[in-house]
Structure 1
């Protein structure tokens, strides 16, 4: 008599579909599923948050921009002149911890107690980053060429919104006039300057000084008179804000987020602050002589710098421009003027000095 007996091991294991999971496998499967669920929840939460507030995106932009500015600042320290004194951390607005400025003065002017033509520089950083301490080596080099150079600090978004910086910078101008002798400022030979978002702010303050209608619209009484404001220097700036926003992609997202953080309004295309910030719309024939420059690899050159230069030229404003062939390689990026290792950037520095000397002469 023959009997067939199914192997115990096979019978106990069953088919793969019927076979129960080992306890440790059940734990691994549960953990993996939990991670997927938590990841999905995290992504959904982030998407909700960035559509409700600009703060997370603005802080990312701030970290990236400040990291780049710190690196450039360190490079500019190499070879910076040692014959320039710095008067640091002057509080130009009582009770406002963001309202600080630094003054760079040639030591010879300090020794002679001389007042020099003064360049008031507003830093960039997409209105959400940057510091008056950035690019100090550049300001030292400018001062070494016979200027008092002022680097202005101001409040940033999203912690503070428009028009706070406009009022701060106007107060800074008033402070410089009130302390002109101590700070070696010639109150009748002032130039406003800036880079990127700082160029936008400087161009806006110049429009306030030279357009009474625009000043009334913003409710600002300019500290400077048109006779005191002799020139404007604008590098890689933004002057028609809607042309920069709503373009999609990573760059468009950054522009939209920065504007939202700075203005407090998500619909930047239909924002009153955005319209007011767009200097291209507010310049007049009374605008000061202006130097405008941008790199061929900077997308703002074609959409912002060249249109502003064209508008000023059409109004009869004395306009000096420095642009480069579109096929120049390697291309000159945004904020190219601070990279003094490049011949084109050194040319831009010399052109800036020549322009300032011509328009701030006694």
Structure 2
């Protein structure tokens, strides 16, 4: 699991700091995963602006390499790996998945993949910022959220550089070898449009995926809604586990 926080904040123990409150992630997010029989490892990464893209992508690869080396010590099956990321963490996860599955992308970033492709079974995107260039433009406009996301994006990379924006765009660089993905988001002050775009591209390429979105008629769901308890979080967890069991076993 890779936490959110706009690439400039957050911690592996507290989920997505963009929510502005202590986040009971391990009760609402990790608990159902553990109850379903999965192991869970949450990792940190260096913050922007001191460390900019793709440093965090490289660090995720290093973390996976460490876990593979120490799999017996921690009781992990590193032949069946699911990468999950919330908000900014979703972009980091998606970038690493592209490094692992798109050789041209890996060469463009100058990054060597650090795990066997067959071991990367699936991805989970929770309110992921898949297009950094649009981080400041969440759907159902939220000026305060957009302002904060834009600060994070401009800290993470040069948002005036079209080449780097393209390299950081998860959807743009996804190929037909992209891992099966569970893609979820809310509908207020967040990025359901980006989630839908990734799902549509994966559909066109024949990549298994499940899109978990809700209309405003069903309820108002904020950015990273799945980190707080609600009927929608319960349904999200049910669908997420169902998808992962179908892919990973």
Whether TM-score is above 0.5 comes out as yes
Match of 2:211 among 287, 300, 321: 321
Higher relative contact order (CA 8 A, sep 6+): 2
**What displacement does 1:271 show?**
4.4
**What displacement does 1:298 show?**
3.9
Residue 245 of structure 2 is matched in structure 1 by: 357
Residue 87 of structure 1 is matched in structure 2 by: none
Deviating beyond 6 angstroms after TM superposition, the runs of 4 or more aligned structure 1 residues are none
The answer on whether the counterparts of 2:32 and 2:237 sit within 8 Å (CA) in structure 1 is no
1:346 aligns with 2:227: no
**What displacement does 1:243 show?**
2.6
Secondary structure of the residue that 1:187 maps to in structure 2? coil
Secondary structure of the residue that 2:5 maps to in structure 1? coil
Q: Which segments of 5 or more consecutive residues in structure 1 lack a partner in the other structure? A: 1-120
Residue 2 of structure 2 is matched in structure 1 by: 122
Match of 1:209 among 71, 77, 100: 100
Alignment of 1:281-296 (within 5 A): 281-296=172-187
Give the aligned CA root-mean-square deviation in angstroms. Answer: 1.8
**What displacement does 1:157 show?**
1.4
Match of 1:270 among 141, 144, 161: 161
Q: Quick one: distance in 1 between partners of 2:164 and 2:97?
A: 17
Residue 163 of structure 1 is matched in structure 2 by: 54
CA distances 1:239-280 after superposition (whole Å, capped 9, x unpaired): 1222334799544432332122122x3xx1434332211011
Secondary structure of the residue that 1:191 maps to in structure 2? strand
1:299 aligns with 2:190: yes
Q: Which segments of 5 or more consecutive residues in structure 2 lack a partner in the other structure? A: 15-24
Secondary structure of the residue that 1:174 maps to in structure 2? helix
Secondary structure of the residue that 1:158 maps to in structure 2? coil
Q: Quick one: distance in 2 between partners of 1:178 and 1:213?
A: 27
Secondary structure of the residue that 2:77 maps to in structure 1? strand
Q: Quick one: distance in 2 between partners of 1:349 and 1:252?
A: 27
1:259 aligns with 2:153: yes
Secondary structure of the residue that 1:355 maps to in structure 2? helix
Residue 145 of structure 1 is matched in structure 2 by: 36
The answer on whether the counterparts of 1:296 and 1:328 sit within 8 Å (CA) in structure 2 is no
Residue 225 of structure 2 is matched in structure 1 by: 336
Q: How many residues were matched structurally?
A: 235
Q: Quick one: distance in 1 between partners of 2:221 and 2:144?
A: 20
CA distance 1:297–1:252, shift in 2 (3 Å) = closer
The answer on whether the counterparts of 2:39 and 2:76 sit within 8 Å (CA) in structure 1 is yes
Q: Quick one: distance in 1 between partners of 2:217 and 2:30?
A: 30
The answer on whether the counterparts of 1:231 and 1:356 sit within 8 Å (CA) in structure 2 is yes
TM-score (norm 2): 0.88
TM-score (norm 1): 0.62
